[in-house]
Amino acid sequence: MKKLLALTAALFLSIGAFAQIERPVTWAYAAKKTSATEATVFLKATMQAGWHIYSQHVKDGGPIKTSFTFTKSPSFTLVGKTVEPKPITHFEKTFGMDVSYFEKEVVFTQKIKLKSAKATTVKGTLEFMTCNDSKCLPPDNVNFTVALAK
C-alpha cells in the first residue's frame, strides 16, 4: 500500500513539473514627474534569451501586436500615444510578411498630464504575444499599476 501511495505521489509531482506555464517575459513599471503638470510612465518588458514580443505597429494578418489600455482617471489625461523605440523588422515565414519586434528588453513610454499636485496612480492593462524561433505562446493580458508621488 505504501509503495502504491509513493508511486501515486511521484506520478502527480512529475505531471506538475511538466505542466509549468512558460513565462519568458516579465514586466516592470515606473513613473517620473517631468514637470509640475506632466509625468512619463515607463513600461519595461524583459524577455528571456531567444524570445521576442511584437511592436505596437503590426499590420493585420500578423501576430498580436503589443497594446496598452490605460484606465481613465480624474487625476490625469494621456498626452499622445504610447511610444516605443525602433524595433527589429524582418520577414517571418509564419506570417508571410515583414514583422517588427523587440528582443532582450524594451521600454515603452506614455506621457501624462497631471490635473492636480496630489499623488496619482496610473492603472491599465497591456496585451502582448511572445514567440521564439519554434513557437508562439497565446497572447497574454497583464494588469499594471504605477504610483506617481507628489
Give per-residue pLDDT as tens, 77-136: 999 999 999 999 999 888 899 999 999 999 999 999 999 878 899 999 999 999 998 899
Average pLDDT over residues 134-139: 93
Name the class of domain 24-148.
Answer: mainly beta
Least confident of 54-63, 115-124, 138-147: 115-124
Backbone φ and ψ for 127, nearest 5 degrees, come out as -125, 140
Domain ranges of the chain: 24-148
Q: How far apart are CA 39 and CA 17, in angstroms?
A: 43
Q: Let me know if 31 is exposed, middle or buried by CB neighbors in 10 A (0-12, 13-18, 19+).
A: buried
Q: Let me know if 127 is exposed, middle or buried by CB neighbors in 10 A (0-12, 13-18, 19+).
A: middle
Beta bridge partners of 47: 25
The yes-or-no verdict on residue 14 having pLDDT over 70 is no
